[in-house]
Structure 1
Amino acid sequence: MKALMFGWEFPPHILGGLGTASYGITKGIAQNGDMDITFVIPKPWGDEPKEYAKIIGANCTPVAWRDVNWDYVQGRIGNVMDPQLYYDLRDHIYSDFNYMNTNDLGCIEFSGRYPDNLLEEINNYSIVAGVIARTIPCDIIHAHDWLTYPAGIHAKQVTGKPLVIHVHATDFDRSRGHVNPTVFNIERDGMIHADHIITVSNLTRRTVIEHYGIPPEKVTTVHNAVEPLSQEYLEIKPPHKHDKVVTFLGRITMQKGPEYFVEAAAQVLHKMHNVQFVMAGSGDMMEKMINLAAKRDIADRFHFTGFLKGKQVYEMLAASDVYIMPSVSEPFGISPLEAMQMGVPSIISKQSGCAEILDNVIKVDYWDTNAIADAVYSILMYPAMYKQLRDHGRDEVGRIVWKKAGAKIIDIYKRLVNQ
């Protein structure tokens, strides 16, 4: 079976959980065999893993004819795409897009990030999807998150093939209910046009059904999983330290509840002093959190690392004694699973999708800073509790693998293709 996937991120160039999940899903599907996956992203860099999917860059897909020779194409994009594919794609330009801002190859430039003109990039991506869908044979189309829904819809219209959309998050999660109507309309349009919808948790499934008016039979939950740790990460040694370390790792935005982490930290530090708190990540609430730590008079016990990626994440986890994810609304949340892999006892909000499948963690309401502080204190003070959460948590997360998720997704594909 051939799957044409549209995504926005892919490792190693990731800005959040979407890229990590997209790779895990792709690998999990491929591990079940008999799948040919083409994964489209706005801007590849050339170092993406390619053993489970062929990568196509929207920024390497011509939408306007240019008379360019092979050597020139090779020199311009040969590090990310086979020049022959460029010419194959060029043969399927379906309209005159010369009025658009295209480069010397007739391609639209993409940032590969989340720029101020994001809506323009989403629209341009859907235009490019029309060329790709006319070129790459597929049996099923799979669009990851709202940014790619217009591309998925266009590909469905071109090919007539079934469309699956994968809801990694909704704007209700990102905005704490203050929904952007433009984003909401893109999300709902994708859901209406989709032949089936996959959500990453039952929490998100309920949001799709209740807030977007989608029939329950059209929505299936497939929980995320986690990649087994590489030997490189398994060999990371914890640093020698005098204090305990409690870590928050993620985007510092209102969805992630960073203020509850700071408030809980202040309560813990009233009881014990040999604790350092780390907020690892970046986001629009960072300055506010720095000021809140100062206001609570704990700035000397608080550290802001900025955005961490790759091995840096696991080095931070190796140095941690407790991990906290106090998310207000978390569709899934892969980071606690990564912490558990590293043997870090974890505290997560009940308002997170991963709480549906994890047992060997402490679950609290995100707003209950007393409960968060009590949990931190108990883990740090009682070695038996620390050891139980560490060992059982590591064993539990070892059974949550992408191959199982991939098998469920393939079952959905087969039902749609055979209808």
Structure 2
Amino acid sequence: MKVLMFGWEFPPHISGGLGTACYGLVKGLAHHNQEVIFVVPKLWGDEEPLADFVNASDVVIDYRENRFKKIWKNLTYLEVSSFLVPYLGPEEFKKYTDYTVHDRMDVDESVFSNKFEFSGKYGKDLMKEVSRYALVASQIAKEKKHDVIHAHDWLAFPAGIAAKEISGAPLVAHVHATEYDRSGESVNQPVYEIERAGMHAADHVVAVSQLTKNIIINKYGVHPDKISVLHNAVLDASIIKSDATKKVPEKIVTFLGRITYQKGPEYFVEAARKVIQLDPNVRFVMAGSGDLLNKMVVRVAELGIGTKFHFTGFLKGNDVDEMYAISDVYVMPSVSEPFGISPLEAVRHNTPVIISKQSGVAEVLRNAIKVDFWDIDAMADAIFALLHYDGMSKMFKELGSEELKKLKWEHVAAKLVKIYQDTVKK
């Protein structure tokens, strides 16, 4: 099976769990002798050679062929109707849209033959890059032979749809998170529409948890029979032995992730206050960055716990490993977490974890304390218990490490290959 896969990030240049999951899947597919063509907006040159990598920034596209016309017009419609993702300069964009409205193809040469440079980041031009990426995808689908198309999350869904239009190969849409996870009920409508279009255009949908599958059914109107659940895994199930040492005598409780609505940082702060009231010899760490960071700093100051609460900013690489290693408890209080790989990484560092019941990882990590994200009393009680009852902490460490051995990417990939085969046969 030859898989044309569209993603937005790949290790070592990643911003979150999506890149880690893509890496695990590609590695697992290689274990099962599947050939993967992995397309990313930008290659950095130090990616592990697990696949035939395609740098979207190096692809020249020419839209004048008839087969591109439908994709070209549909993308133009999206651009013109929303004005959210202009991917040409003002003059070219006006010229291009004017002619497309009149179904003309004899516009300036530079409009139809171009090579786009992608940043590969999540900046202010994200929508523009998503649109460009879809156009590049159609050219890649024309050039690269493949049996099935696999697109990861909304950033790559338009690319997957465009590729399917060109090659006719079946599309698998992989949902790692939805707009309802990121924003609650106040969804970004254009993003929601892209997600919905991707799921409905797909021949099959993969969800990272039953929690996510339920959202796809109830919020996006996708039939349950079209959706399979594939839980994420860990790249290495072995316990990490670290020589990192704490520089403080107190116990350390850690939140590590994006400081956004989805991750529930405010509940962590409120639980911290309750724990500190019971035991002032505890330090809390919030590692990460996000749009709620300043609000959390202000709230910590209002509660008067600033001397026991630390903000590290965004961590990566060895700093992440060291943070896990020196933590006595790891807490993931997510409001809506499609899966959540970080608790598994914490377990690898022999750190007991507390996770919200509103997370996909709760479906596979049975030996962890689970609380409702909003129940700060239960969260505080669980933190206090793990810090003060050594027997409980030891038990969760031992049982958690045993569970990790079952969560391997090659097992996930084997199920994915079966999904590919079934989808191609339809």
The answer to whether the superposition gives a TM-score over 0.5 is yes
Q: Which residue does the alignment assign to 1:42?
A: 41
Given the superposition, is the C-alpha separation of residues 237 and 399 from structure 1 closer, same or farther in structure 2, using an over 3 Å criterion? farther
The whole-number CA distance in structure 1 between the counterparts of 2:303 and 2:297 is 10
Structure 2, unmatched stretches of 5+, are 64-104
Q: Which residue does the alignment assign to 1:418?
A: 425
Task: Give yes or no for contact 1:277–1:301 (8 Å, CA) kept in 2.
Answer: yes
Higher mean displacement: 238-247 or 209-218? 238-247
**CA deviations over 1:359-391 (Å, ceiling 9, x no partner):** 110000000000000000000100101111111
The whole-number CA distance in structure 2 between the counterparts of 1:98 and 1:223 is 47
Q: Which residue does the alignment assign to 1:69?
A: none
Residue 111 (structure 1) aligned with residue 149 (structure 2): no
Q: Which residue does the alignment assign to 2:341?
A: 334
**CA deviations over 1:252-282 (Å, ceiling 9, x no partner):** 0011000000000000000111111000000
Residue 316 of structure 1: SS of its match in structure 2?
Answer: helix
Higher mean displacement: 112-121 or 334-343? 112-121
Out of 44, 55, 58, the position equivalent to 1:57 is 55
The whole-number CA distance in structure 1 between the counterparts of 2:353 and 2:29 is 29
Residue 268 (structure 1) aligned with residue 275 (structure 2): yes
Q: Which residue does the alignment assign to 1:146?
A: 154
Deviation of 1:55 (Å)? 1.3
The whole-number CA distance in structure 1 between the counterparts of 2:418 and 2:243 is 38
The whole-number CA distance in structure 2 between the counterparts of 1:185 and 1:96 is 30
Letter in 1 for 2:126: L
* Residues matched between the structures, number: 385
Residue 185 (structure 1) aligned with residue 193 (structure 2): yes
The whole-number CA distance in structure 1 between the counterparts of 2:121 and 2:130 is 11
Given the superposition, is the C-alpha separation of residues 236 and 226 from structure 1 closer, same or farther in structure 2, using an over 3 Å criterion? farther
Deviation of 1:39 (Å)? 0.5
Residue 384 (structure 1) aligned with residue 391 (structure 2): yes
**CA deviations over 1:265-315 (Å, ceiling 9, x no partner):** 000000111111000000000000001111110011111111111221111
Residue 158 (structure 1) aligned with residue 166 (structure 2): yes
The two structures have a TM-score, normalised by structure 1, of: 0.89
Out of 358, 368, 371, the position equivalent to 2:365 is 358
Out of 124, 145, 156, the position equivalent to 1:137 is 145
- Give structure 1 regions of 4+ aligned residues with deviation exceeding 2 angstroms: 94-102, 233-241
Residue 267 of structure 2: SS of its match in structure 1?
Answer: helix
Letter in 1 for 2:315: L
Higher mean displacement: 347-356 or 177-186? 177-186
The whole-number CA distance in structure 2 between the counterparts of 1:179 and 1:396 is 35
Structure 1, unmatched stretches of 5+, are 66-93
Q: Aligned-residue CA RMSD in angstroms? A: 1.9
Deviation of 1:235 (Å)? 4.1
Out of 215, 221, 227, the position equivalent to 1:213 is 221
Residue 307 (structure 1) aligned with residue 308 (structure 2): no
Letter in 1 for 2:138: G
Residue 63 of structure 1: SS of its match in structure 2?
Answer: strand
Residue 185 of structure 2: SS of its match in structure 1?
Answer: coil
The two structures have a TM-score, normalised by structure 2, of: 0.87
Deviation of 1:249 (Å)? 0.3
Task: Give yes or no for contact 2:28–2:412 (8 Å, CA) kept in 1.
Answer: yes
The whole-number CA distance in structure 2 between the counterparts of 1:349 and 1:247 is 14
Q: Which residue does the alignment assign to 2:210?
A: 202
Task: Give yes or no for contact 1:64–1:97 (8 Å, CA) kept in 2.
Answer: no
- Percent of pairs with identical residues: 51
Task: Give yes or no for contact 2:205–2:226 (8 Å, CA) kept in 1.
Answer: yes
**CA deviations over 1:186-244 (Å, ceiling 9, x no partner):** 1111111100000000000011011111111000100001110689x534434354110
Letter in 2 for 1:8: W
The whole-number CA distance in structure 1 between the counterparts of 2:419 and 2:232 is 16
Task: Give yes or no for contact 2:207–2:213 (8 Å, CA) kept in 1.
Answer: yes
Task: Give yes or no for contact 1:10–1:23 (8 Å, CA) kept in 2.
Answer: yes
Q: Which residue does the alignment assign to 1:32?
A: 32
The whole-number CA distance in structure 2 between the counterparts of 1:414 and 1:238 is 49
Task: Give yes or no for contact 2:237–2:405 (8 Å, CA) kept in 1.
Answer: no
Letter in 2 for 1:30: A
